[in-house]
Chains A and B, each alone.
Chain A
């Protein structure tokens, strides 16, 4: 993107003033280098979002923003129901509540390296990863309803984890007002074999080492220290969420004209929050959020089982669990007034700053952990929410590195075998059912995650706490 298209507000804030149908400005947070590398479609999509009814503040794009569908990936937009605001299936995406969770282990690098191959093989064996791999849990219709209403709380009640886990999950493990009866039979059918599965694409499970601590005070509050070993899990609501996204995208695209909503791009499919269709989607989408939270909780249980076998001295409490494809009702102060807004984050992480009442007491002073997935080779980051992020983008931050090239381009450039061998030579063991999938996810296909988090920090969206590097990667 040519920076000349934008008005520069600061080193890391770029604006497109309202024009045409835009109701609010579009604001992109990024360094100049990231802006130059960004697809023009990001600005186009952020502008389209700015034209949706009831949008509040601005249409935001995070430093890792890239060309999505409808909303940019890395997009944040808040809507006010009282002012005709909308909820958008396209603004949440297909993988509802896709997110990242991070577990402590209490073991050292040396302990992991001593059993690294065994650990990688055992995780690969136990964690269903990749297309066609099914889970071992089959839910009755009654259990499915309980899962959709109860999320990770349901999973913990079934014995997959402990009460302490719930404190460290957004919404304390289950979002309120989920309405399982609004979830179609087709969506339930797609989930039948997929509870406790990782999925494919950019989803992964990694054993990582903290290789750099940027903020020792917050790292200490998070229980992270140089050399600590953690497990990061990146996955979402599986087939159930995908089907709900698919069904409501269609219904909202067809219904939009009846609400007097003009869609510059049908992918922006939306409905007034105050409509029956809007309520229908919110009820089903929240059920999908709970499905994702339950799924990550079950995967956590499987990881703990593997560690109990391979590294029995390990203890794996949860550091935190974040979702980055959601629409949630949150209280924000806008123009001096407290308002309840429907905040869409599509490929963006909530990042509550210190003191936020939704944070667990033992993390409240430090701010919310913001978990940023990088690529297989470059590692990931733990950030912390800041007070300034509230004014910048309704307390939001980036979610990952973002792709630098398409899957086809990556396939032309790398072979899966070569990627696995190169990473093994660097001490990173990759296990995946798909060589082609590994090639498509090659580290070089992603942007530099460091540049993304540096820009997020410079923009005041979040604060760098620690950087991690993988030792084992289970890739779907």
Chain B
């Protein structure tokens, strides 16, 4: 299956959802959905790579931890990311995020994510697909 991301409805904030054949892919796609809260992921050039590590006691907390780690890198490096390679092993996530410094003129950022919440937080296998989703506070 083709990995993909989408946004889902939340009254005040934005739901991000990643879908893929593996949990790794679903997490990577969820991070792309996070980027899409800010800017079109296709418009982000892979000029720099940033390594991210995190861990958590279960898959759902790991997803929140992962998205919060990406938010932290976006915030402190002033970057946006357009591609993520993710590998999850026994509650530990290792990832490389590819992106570039935020360019307000080109990326036209819509809104800044504050943090990944635990609302509508789910990491589940549904048939052939893994789904990883939560609501991001903006």
Chain A residues in the interface with B (C-beta under 8 A):
39, 41, 66-70, 73, 90, 93-95, 130-134, 186, 189-190, 192-193, 199-201, 239, 242-243, 245-246, 249-250, 253-254, 265-267, 269, 402-403, 405-409, 433-437, 440, 476
Q: Given the complex of chains A and B, what is the CA–CA distance between A265 and B10 in angstroms?
A: 16
B34 to chain A, nearest CB (A): 13
Q: Is B104's CB under 8 angstroms from A408's CB? A: no
* 12 residue pairs A–B, Cβ–Cβ below 8 Å: A41-B11, A201-B138, A242-B114, A245-B115, A250-B56, A253-B118, A254-B57, A266-B118, A406-B10, A406-B14, A407-B14, A434-B110
**Is B52 an interface residue, CB under 8 A from the partner?**
no
A184 to chain B, nearest CB (A): 11
Q: Is B104's CB under 8 angstroms from A130's CB? A: yes
Q: Given the complex of chains A and B, what is the CA–CA distance between A403 and B138 in angstroms?
A: 13
B111 to chain A, nearest CB (A): 5
Interface size class of B (residues with CB under 8 A): 35 or more
Q: Is A130's CB under 8 angstroms from B118's CB? A: no
Which B residue's beta carbon lies closest to that of A249? B118
Q: Is A69's CB under 8 angstroms from B76's CB? A: no
Q: Mark each residue of chain B from 106 to 121: 1 if its CB lies under 8 Å from any CB of chain A, else 0.
A: 0011111011111101
Which among A132, A245, A405, A440 is the interface contact of B114 at CB below 8 angstroms? A245
B contact patch SS = loop
Q: Is A239's CB under 8 angstroms from B119's CB? A: no
Q: Given the complex of chains A and B, what is the CA–CA distance between A186 and B65 in angstroms?
A: 14
Known pairs A94-B137, A131-B38, A265-B119; A408 contacts B110 (CB<8 A): no
Which among B104, B111, B121 is the interface contact of A440 at CB below 8 angstroms? B111
Which B residue's beta carbon lies closest to that of A236? B114
Chain B, 59-102, CB within 8 A of any chain A CB: 60-61, 64-65, 68, 71-72, 75-76, 78, 102
- List residues of chain A with CB within 8 A of the CB of B111: 131, 200-201, 407, 434, 437, 440
- List residues of chain A with CB within 8 A of the CB of B109: 130-132, 200, 433-434, 437
A88 to chain B, nearest CB (A): 12
**Given A265-B119, A440-B110; 14 other pairs, CB 8 A cutoff:** A93-B137, A130-B109, A130-B112, A190-B72, A192-B76, A193-B78, A199-B112, A201-B111, A242-B137, A246-B116, A250-B61, A406-B12, A407-B111, A408-B9
Known pairs A190-B72, A265-B118; A73 contacts B12 (CB<8 A): yes
Q: Is B110's CB under 8 angstroms from A69's CB? A: no
Which among B9, B65, B71, B110 is the interface contact of A406 at CB below 8 angstroms? B9
Known pairs A69-B137, A131-B102, A132-B109; A94 contacts B114 (CB<8 A): yes
A5 to chain B, nearest CB (A): 18
A185 to chain B, nearest CB (A): 11
Known pairs A67-B12, A192-B76; A407 contacts B138 (CB<8 A): yes
Q: Given the complex of chains A and B, what is the CA–CA distance between A267 and B117 in angstroms?
A: 7
Chain B, 7-39, CB within 8 A of any chain A CB: 7, 9-14, 38
- List residues of chain A with CB within 8 A of the CB of B112: 130-132, 199-201, 476
Q: Given the complex of chains A and B, what is the CA–CA distance between A440 and B13 in angstroms?
A: 11
Q: Given the complex of chains A and B, what is the CA–CA distance between A131 and B65 in angstroms?
A: 21
Which B residue's beta carbon lies closest to that of A95? B114
- List the 5 shortest-distance A-B pairs measured between CB atoms, nearest first: A69-B119, A436-B110, A131-B112, A131-B109, A69-B117
Q: Is B115's CB under 8 angstroms from A190's CB? A: no
Which B residue's beta carbon lies closest to that of A189? B76
Which B residue's beta carbon lies closest to that of A199? B112
Q: Given the complex of chains A and B, what is the CA–CA distance between A90 and B121 in angstroms?
A: 14
Q: Is A66's CB under 8 angstroms from B110's CB? A: no
Q: Given the complex of chains A and B, what is the CA–CA distance between A134 and B135 in angstroms?
A: 26
A266 to chain B, nearest CB (A): 4
Q: Is A66's CB under 8 angstroms from B11's CB? A: yes
Which among B11, B78, B121, B137 is the interface contact of A39 at CB below 8 angstroms? B11
- List residues of chain B with CB within 8 A of the CB of A434: 108-111
- List residues of chain A with CB within 8 A of the CB of B110: 131, 200, 434, 436-437, 440
Q: Given the complex of chains A and B, what is the CA–CA distance between A73 and B119 in angstroms?
A: 13
Q: Is B12's CB under 8 angstroms from A66's CB? A: yes
Most buried by B among A66, A93, A189, A249: A249
Most buried by A among B57, B71, B72, B135: B72
- List residues of chain B with CB within 8 A of the CB of A253: 61, 118
B126 to chain A, nearest CB (A): 21
Q: Is B13's CB under 8 angstroms from A69's CB? A: yes
- List residues of chain B with CB within 8 A of the CB of A70: 117-119
Known pairs A130-B104, A201-B138, A434-B109; A242 contacts B9 (CB<8 A): no
- List residues of chain A with CB within 8 A of the CB of B104: 130-133, 433
Q: Given the complex of chains A and B, what is the CA–CA distance between A407 and B16 in angstroms?
A: 12
Q: Given the complex of chains A and B, what is the CA–CA distance between A13 and B110 in angstroms?
A: 37
Which A residue's beta carbon lies closest to that of B138? A201
Most buried by A among B12, B64, B78, B121: B12
A288 to chain B, nearest CB (A): 12
- List residues of chain B with CB within 8 A of the CB of A440: 110-111
Q: Is A266's CB under 8 angstroms from B108's CB? A: no
Chain B, 39-62, CB within 8 A of any chain A CB: 56-57, 60-61
Q: Is B118's CB under 8 angstroms from A67's CB? A: no
- List residues of chain A with CB within 8 A of the CB of B61: 250, 253-254
Q: Is A409's CB under 8 angstroms from B65's CB? A: no
Q: Given the complex of chains A and B, what is the CA–CA distance between A403 and B56 in angstroms?
A: 33
- List residues of chain A with CB within 8 A of the CB of B119: 68-70, 265, 267
Which among A199, A405, A436, A476 is the interface contact of B108 at CB below 8 angstroms? A436
